[in-house]
Each structure stands twice: as C-alpha cells, then as structure tokens.
Amino acid sequence: MPTFNPNNVLMQDAVNGKVPSEQGTLVLKEFMTQSAITKLAKYEEMKKPEKKFTYLASGPGAYWVGEGEKIQTSKATWLEAKMVSKKLGVIIPVTKEFLRYTITDFFTQMRPAISEAFAIKFDQAALFGIDSPFGAGVSVYEKVKASKHTVALDSSGNLYDELNAVVALVEDADKDVDGFTTTRRFRQKLRGTKDGNGLPIFNDAKGGATQQALGLPIGYVDSKSWDYTKAVMLAADWNYTRYGIPQGMEYKISEDATLSTVVDEDGKPINLYERDMVALRVTQQVGFMTLTDDAFAALTPAQTKPQPPKA
C-alpha cells in the first residue's frame, strides 16, 4: 500500500487528524519563540498528561571536624512536584478556498496565526493567571503576591535603583534572578536609564544576542498577554518554573459550526454555513507549574500620589 503523504491530500479529504509532524514541529518552534515562558522557564519532558518529578529544595550541610571526631551527617531536602498538562485550543475561521490546499500547505499558511494564539494564551495563564487552567496561586504574579516581592515604579525615581531592589528581593531568598520579562513598550524606559556611573543598564541585541538589562536577559511578551495594572516588569529565578508539552497537535475542520465567540457586523455569532466558510480547530496539550513563592519579584506600576486639598 502507498505511504500516506500529507502533501498529496487536500483538506476536504482529511477534515480531522494529527497535524503533519513537520508542520507541527514548525508551529511548536514558533510558539516557543514567541512565548516568554518557554524562553525563560525550564523545560520538563512529558510523555503523559501528568508527570511527577523531584527537585532539590535545599542541599546538604557540611561541618567542621576535629581530629578523630565523627563527621556529622545531613541530608538534602528533595521535594516532589506534580505537573498536569491542559488542553490549549484555537479556532480560526477561514474562507472555503482553503479547503483546496493540501494539508501541508494549509498549515504553512495557518502557522503564524496558530503559534501566536497559543503563545498569547499560555503566557496570560502562566504569568498572571488569566483564564488559567493550572489552578489558583500557580502563576508567576500570584507567587509575587504571596511573597510580597514588589517594588513600585516611581516616575521621578531611578529605574536602575528600582530594578536593583527587585533583584535584591529574590536574592534575599537566597536565589538568583536569571532573567526579566516585560513588553516592548517598556523598552524605551529601559533604554533611557543609566546607572550611577552614567552607563546604560540596557544592552540591545547585536549579532543574535539576547537583549539585556543589568546584564540579565529579557524575554518579551506580546502586549495582549500582559496585565499592566499588576506589573510593568517581572524578575525571577526561572529554574523554579517548569513547562512541558506531552502531546502533538491535532486538528479538526468544520463547515457548519456556529462560532459563539466571534460576532459579525450585526453582533450575531458567525454561522459558517451561511457564509460559505470553514473553521480550523487546533488543540495542543501544555503543562506549567511554579515550585516556590520566593523566586519571583515584580516592578509594579507607579502609585498615584494623593493630591493635597485645595486651599
């Protein structure tokens, strides 16, 4: 029998199934490039929707030993964590002409839209707990609130001192900040800030290098993923965040569904049959978790100062 080749199959002949491995890999790479969490957090390999693993919470202690004395024993503290993946999905309405594409060509066209939608939704949940399926208190900002590791931005202050104070909050917990995350609209503020010696704290990307502030890499988030009312910049020891992707992408195409989350010019749900359109649904399993409270800190928006009463 001939081998299945997605290059030879038109979409109308294969309305559901698994995304071709090559295209799925490319979508995944783009997703991981666009998501701040996948760039900063530690990847945990998952072969099933649920994974238990142990991590080193504190190392063993050492002791001074006199001549002939017994060496005291101590043990490292290992904790067990469980990461559960959740289904991430996107529905994209397209014209019926897309059905004439082969599977491979179709996903080549749809790849940017799929990867962007996945990255935005995943970062929203992981960073701020927005529509998060991972449970309460798991997101980075919720850990910041639990530890009270916040420094308020002062429009008249020095951003260098404020970021230094943010990093110090994590260091006080005996952890090392290894990266920041923010949006590109905050880059102007970083670019214009200098340290006490008049040197810029921001290093632009050159020769493929990652942009840095205070010598630490910055992972940029799509503005749609960010909650500006809660933070303008997040800092973390990202070894205490984990993510996993246990399952390849699957798709289904519908020609007669009604999309209740998208409305037309009259404010009514889009009926695909009436508009001679189709909708592509793609799903992907993704896991995320944080391992401690004190590895995260935030630079929060400037506080509004009360105005003195008028005379």
CA distance to 22, 202, 223, per residue, from 185 (Å): 34, 14, 8
pLDDT digits (tens, 9 = 90+) for 162-183: 999 999 999 999 999 999 999 9
Does 11 reside within a domain?
Answer: no
Structural domain total, the chain: 1
Does 72 reside within a domain?
Answer: no
What range defines the domain where residue 152 resides? 16-51+78-300
Asked if 170 and 176 count as a contact pair (C-beta separation under 8 A), the reply is yes
Does 34 reside within a domain?
Answer: yes
Residue 232, strand partner residues? none
Does 133 reside within a domain?
Answer: yes
Does 63 reside within a domain?
Answer: no
- Name which residue leads in pLDDT, 168 or 16: 168
Does 68 reside within a domain?
Answer: no
In terms of Cβ atoms closer than 10 Å to its own Cβ (0-12, 13-18, 19+), residue 238 is: buried
pLDDT digits (tens, 9 = 90+) for 93-136: 888 788 788 888 888 888 888 899 999 999 999 999 999 999 99
Residue 274 has pLDDT above 80, yes or no: no
Residue 51 has pLDDT above 80, yes or no: yes
- Name which residue leads in pLDDT, 12 or 299: 299
pLDDT digits (tens, 9 = 90+) for 218-254: 989 999 999 999 999 999 999 999 999 988 888 888 8
Does 65 reside within a domain?
Answer: no
Give the contacts of 22 (CB within 8 A, at least 6 positions apart).
Answer: 104
**What tokens appear for 263 in the block?**
């409305």
For the chain, what percent of residues have pLDDT higher than 70?
84
Residue 295 has pLDDT above 80, yes or no: yes
CA distance 290 to 21: 30
- Total count of residues recorded for the chain: 311
Does 99 reside within a domain?
Answer: yes
What is the CATH classification number for the domain harbouring 296? 3.90.1690
Question: What pLDDT is recorded for position 287?
Answer: 94
pTM, to two decimals: 0.81
